[in-house]
Structure 1
Amino acid sequence: MNCFVGVDVGTTNVKALAMPPDLSQILAHASAPLTTLNPESGYAEQDPNEIWSAFVQVISEVSREVAQGGHVITHVAFCTAMHSLLPMDVNGDPLGNAILWSDNRAEAQADELRTTQADLGKAIHEETGTPIHPMIPLCKLAWMREHDPRLLRRTAHFGSIKEFLWQRLTGEFDIDFSIATATGLFNESKRHWSKRAMDYAGVRVDQLSTPVPTTYQRIYQPRPITAATGLPAGISLLIGASDGCLANLGAGAIKRGTATLTIGTSGAIRQTVRKPLRDPQGRLFCYFLDEGYYAVGGPTNNGGNVLEWVSEKLTQQDTKTVLDEAATIAPGSDGLLFLPYLQGERAPLWDASVRGAYLQVDWQHTRAHFIRAALEGVLFNLLSINELLKEYTGSARVIHANGGFAQSTLWVQMLADMAGVPVRLNASNESGSMGAILLTMKAVGIVKTLDEATERVAFGETFEPDLDRHKVYRTEFKKWQDALTRL
């Protein structure tokens, strides 16, 4: 039996999933962790050699398992996190660590494009669809222009983690339109690099990869450095798209009125639209998925990392204990509010310097209150992004939830109660890998459209909102918004 492999390179893990073209079963699955480095305050980096090793580990495990089952890999497609920046030499070898989306060192450059050079910032946002923030490679390159001009000059190629992996596998520097639209350097409508953005960043077009469609394919020919992957010669490598776009696709959420809410380390809420959309205030992103499909929404820096902070720093308890404690407290945490900005914030504030806070702390509040309020604060923040989103897309009638938080029935039910709409889970929580496989199905002609592809997505449990709890949360959400406005 032939099969497709979807590879999902996230912030905390590299994962791979193998399925037959009819999506009837999971033939193989593997995962390997990644380490984020924080060499200075506000910095977030990863070692590209560790990423490559993790990729080799998971793809070789999947290759062996597929072969042992008598199956044959025909296509491998890629889903990767956005906004990373890696300097490479002419051979694609790293000249340093990859700078991640969560890195805030370019805060001053982002502020410049929002204040003293606001006209330029607005023009770049209109052209690229990328909000101005330290996360984007545009600002990271501008930081490098000011603080490490020698590295900027001697780097042969700047690329993302995906481009690094792709070059290792193919020997070519290509970038898909989806990852490109998240750089702040790509003219989305004309499908080429933006001169005004490159001029500001101080980078040349020959230092950037060749933009290609998300369905672009190259035939794999093993090289000495790739032999350990176990991939056979002659299979097709499909470049794929970004994690946000493919999470929408893999969740089966591309129809109007359907939102996808993802919480992994960070989080996002998105809808799929059929033509590019711009928020004049630059509060929402709009990223390319495929011709006629764009993911619009807002990302938050503060998702599962808040639960990690509560577990490791605040309570020093394991995650299960923490979630069990939260379940003992009524919705609304008896008035305790939490602003979850532990690592600055992207949407809705776009302020890397903002920090979190507990508000309205009372004598009655226990550790369990603090835990539940933290979980509620993460969702309140995402729903505040949704308030911006629905100005353009209309209200969501259903939310498809994925990411690590989807494994917690407490947290997912909390979302349904807050939003007041059903929340659906997928049969598989690997929405990024699944999205890459669905994109492959369209690329090879098994389906004609992505709409047709999502009809094959299998769903798991649906969480219905409790109307009484929804009333409580509507009141508390208003208090949370008022508190944020005051602060």
Structure 2
Amino acid sequence: MNCFVGVDVGTTNIKALAMPSDLSEILAHASAPLTTLSPEHGYAEQDPAEIWSAFIQVITEVTKELTQGGHAITHVAFCTAMHSLLPMDADGSPLGNAILWSDNRAEAQATTLRSTQADLGKAIYAETGTPLHPMIPLCKLAWMRENDPRLLRRTAHFGSIKEFLWHKLTGQFEVDFSIATATGLFNESKREWSELAMKFAGVRADQLSTPVPTTHQRPYQPRPETTDTGLPADVSLLIGASDGCLANLGAGAIKKGTATLTIGTSGAIRQTVRKPLRDPEVRLFCYYLDEGYYVVGGPTNNGGNVLEWVTEKLTQQDTEAVLAEAATVPPGSDGLLFLPYLQGERAPLWDASVRGAYLHVDWLHTRAHFVRAALEGVLFNLLSINELLTSHTGPARVIHANGGFAQSDLWVQMLADMAGIPVRLNASNESGSMGAILLTMKATGVVKTLDEAAERVAFGHTFQPDLDRHTTYRKAFAKWEEALKKL
């Protein structure tokens, strides 16, 4: 049986999923962890050698499993995290670590574009659709220009983690429109690098990859100096898109009125629209998925990392025990509120320096209250982003939920109760890899449109909102928003 493989290169791991073109079953699956390094406060980096090794591990495991099952890989498609920046030489060899989305070293440069050079910042946002924040390569490059000009001069090519892998596999420096629109350097309407942004960043177009559509394909070009991947020589590689865009597609969230909420280490809430959208106050992103499909929304720095903080530092319990403890407290945590800004924030504040807080702490509050309030605070923040989003797109009638938090019935039910609308889970929680496979189906003519591809997504359980709990949460959310405004 012929099959497609979707590779999802995330922040904490690399995953690969293999399915036939009719999506009838999962034929193979593999995962390998990645380590995030923090050499200085506010820094977040990864070793490209480890990334390549993890990629080799998962693709080798999947290829071996498929071969043993008598299946043949025809296409491998890529889904990768956004906003990474990796300096490379002319041969594609890294000159340092990859700087991740969660790295905040470029806070001063982002602040400049939002304050003293606000007109320039708004002009760049109008061209690119990327909010101005330390996460984006535009600001990281400007930081490098000011703080490490020697590395800037030594670097022949700047790219993302995807571009590093793509060059390893094809010998080409290319980047898909989706990843490009998340750099803050790409003029989305002209489909070329922005002169305004490059001037601020201090780079030239010849130091950046050639932009290509998300359905762009190349033959696999194994080279003697690269580790054997186990892939057949005749396999086609599809460049794919970003994780946020493909999470929408893989969740089947393409039509108007359908939102996707993802919580992994970080989080986001998004909708798919048919033409580019810009927020006058520069608070929402708008990224390219495919011709006529754009994903608009807002990301949060504080998602599953808040649960990690609660388990490791606040309670020193395992995740299962923490969630069970949270379930003993009523909705609204008896008035206790939590602003979940443990690692600065992107939407809705776009402030890397902001920090979190518990509010209205009372004698009656127990550890369980602090745990539940933390989980509620993550969702309140995402719902505040959703209110901004729906002011542009119209209300959502259903939320498709994915990411690690979707494994907790308590947390997903909490979301349904807060939002007051159904929350639907996918049959598979691998929405990024699934989105890459669906994009491949469109690129190879198995389906004609992404709408048709999304209709093939299988769903699991749907969580219905409890109206009494929704009323309680609306009152708590109003108080939470008041606290946010004061912040």
Report the TM-score, using the length of structure 2 for normalisation.
Answer: 1.00
1:315-337 CA-partner distances (Å, limit 9, x unpaired): 11110010010011000000000
CA distance in 2, matches of 1:224, 1:461: 48
Where does residue 19 of structure 1 map in the other structure?
A: 19
Tell me whether 1:198 sits opposite 2:202 in the alignment.
no
Choose 36-45 or 265-274, whichever is displaced more. Answer: 36-45
- Paired residue for 2:367? 367
Secondary structure of 1:206's partner?
Answer: helix
User: Counterparts of 1:206 and 1:151 in 2: how far apart (Å)?
Assistant: 16
Contact preservation (8 Å) 2:412, 2:463: yes
**Alignment-mate amino acid for residue 433 of structure 1:** S
Taking the TM superposition and a 5 Å limit, the aligned residue runs for 1:285-300 are: 285-300=285-300
What amino acid is aligned across from residue 218 of structure 1 in structure 2?
R
Change (3 A) 1:480 1:19: same
2:379 — aligned with what? 379
CA displacement, residues 22-80 of structure 1 (integer Å, 9 cap, x when unaligned): 00000000000011111111111111110110000000000000000000000000000
1:154 alignment partner in structure 2:
154
Secondary structure, aligned partner of 2:38: coil
Name stretches of at least 5 consecutive residues in structure 1 with no aligned partner: none
1:385 and 1:474 map into 2 onto residues whose CA distance is 15
Counterpart in 1 of 2:49?
49
Shift in Å at residue 117 of structure 1? 0.4
2: CA distance, partners of 1:224 / 1:414? 52
Read off the aligned partner of 1:428 and give its amino acid letter. S
Question: 2: CA distance between counterparts of 1:227 and 1:358?
Answer: 50
Partner of 2:403: 403
Cα contact 1:85–1:160 (8 A) shared by 2: yes
Contact kept in structure 2, 1:307 and 1:374, CA below 8 Å: yes
Specify the code of the residue in structure 1 equivalent to 2:319: T
Shift of 1:227: 4.2
CA distance in 2, matches of 1:425, 1:434: 14
Higher alpha-carbon deviation: 228-237 or 79-88: 228-237
Amino acid of the residue matched to residue 476 of structure 1? A
Equivalent position amino acid for 1:441 in 2: M
Do structure 1's residue 92 and structure 2's residue 92 form an aligned pair? yes
CA distance, structure 1, for counterparts of residue 78 and residue 58 of structure 2? 13
Task: Tell me the distance in 1 between the aligned counterparts of 2:429 and 2:56.
Answer: 22
Distance in 1, Cα, partners of 2:248 & 2:361: 37
Secondary structure of residue in 2 paired with 1:298: strand
User: For residues 166-214 of structure 1, what are the alpha-carbon distances to aligned partners after superposition, in whole Å with 9 as ceiling and x for unaligned?
Assistant: 0000111000000000000000000000011000000011110000000
Q: What residue identity is the alignment partner of 1:241?
A: A
Q: Tell me the equivalent position of 1:174.
A: 174
Superposed CA offset, 1:254-294 (max 9, x none): 10000000000000000000000000100000000000000
What SS does the corresponding residue of 2:228 show, helix, strand or coil? helix
User: How far apart, in 2, do the equivalents of 1:218 and 1:351 lie?
Assistant: 40
User: 2:435 — aligned with what?
Assistant: 435
What is the identity, as a one-letter code, of the residue corresponding to 1:172? Answer: Q
Q: In the alignment, which residue of structure 2 is the partner of 1:390?
A: 390
Structure 1 CA distance for aligned equivalents of residues 222 and 149 of structure 2: 36
Deviations 1:111-152 (A, max 9, x none): 000111000000000000000000000000000000000101
4+ aligned runs moved over 3 Å, structure 1? none
Q: Secondary structure at 1:229's aligned position in 2?
A: coil
1:267 aligned to 2:263?
no
Residue type at the aligned position of 2:384: S
The corresponding residue for 1:221 is: 221
Q: SS of 1:480's equivalent?
A: helix
Is the 8 Å Cα contact of residues 15 and 30 (structure 2) preserved in structure 1? Answer: yes
Q: Which amino acid aligns with 2:128?
A: T
Show the counterpart of 2:139.
Answer: 139
Residues 168 and 225 in structure 1, CA contact (< 8 A), matched pair in contact too = no
Equivalences for residues 331-350 of structure 1 within 5 A: 331-350=331-350
Contact 1:2–1:20 (CA under 8 A) maintained in structure 2: yes
CA distance in 1, matches of 2:158, 2:399: 36
Q: Which residue of structure 1 lines up, in the alignment, with residue 283 of structure 2?
A: 283
- Quick one: distance in 2 between partners of 1:278 and 1:445? 32
1:225 positional shift: 3.9
Q: Is the 8 A contact 2:265 2:305 kept in 1?
A: yes
State whether residues 259 and 396 of structure 1, in contact with CA within 8 Å, keep that contact through their aligned partners in structure 2: yes
1:123 corresponds in structure 2 to 123
Write the distance in 2 (CA, Å) between the matches of 1:312 and 1:50.
Answer: 25
Quote the residue 1:419 is aligned against.
419
1:229 offset after TM fit, Å?
Answer: 1.2
Partners of 2:464 and 2:225 lie apart in 1 by 50
Letter matched to residue 401 of structure 1: A
| 2:294 aligned with 1:303 | no
CA contact (8 A) 1:222 1:232 kept: no
- SS of the aligned residue for 2:456 comes to coil
Counterpart residue type for residue 426 of structure 1: N
Query: Take 2:299 and 2:292, find their aligned partners in 1: how far apart are those partners?
Result: 22
Name the CA distance, whole Å, in 2 between partners of 1:205 and 1:51. 26
CA distance in 1, matches of 2:401, 2:6: 19
Deviation at 1:350, TM superposition (A): 0.2
Aligned residue for 2:352, secondary structure, equals coil
Specify the SS of the correspondent of 1:224: coil
Shift of residue 474 of structure 1?
Answer: 0.2
Q: Residue 184 of structure 1 aligns to which amino acid in structure 2?
A: G
What is residue 68 of structure 1 aligned with on the other side? 68
| Counterpart for residue 456 of structure 1 | 456
Give % identity. Answer: 85
Taking the aligned partners of 2:268 and 2:350, their CA distance within structure 1 comes to: 13
In the alignment, which residue of structure 2 is the partner of 1:185? 185
Three-state SS of the structure 2 residue aligned to 1:24 is coil
Q: Distance in 1 between matches of 2:399 and 2:225?
A: 42
Aligned residues of 2:171 and 2:221 also touching (Cα < 8 A): no
Q: Cα offset for 1:486?
A: 1.4
Contact 1:101 1:136 in 2 (8 A): yes
2:271 maps to amino acid: Q
Q: CA deviation at 1:484?
A: 1.0
Give the TM-score taking structure 1 as reference length.
Answer: 1.00
2:238, 2:440 within 8 Å by CA — same for their partners in 1?
yes
> 1:208 corresponds to which residue?
208
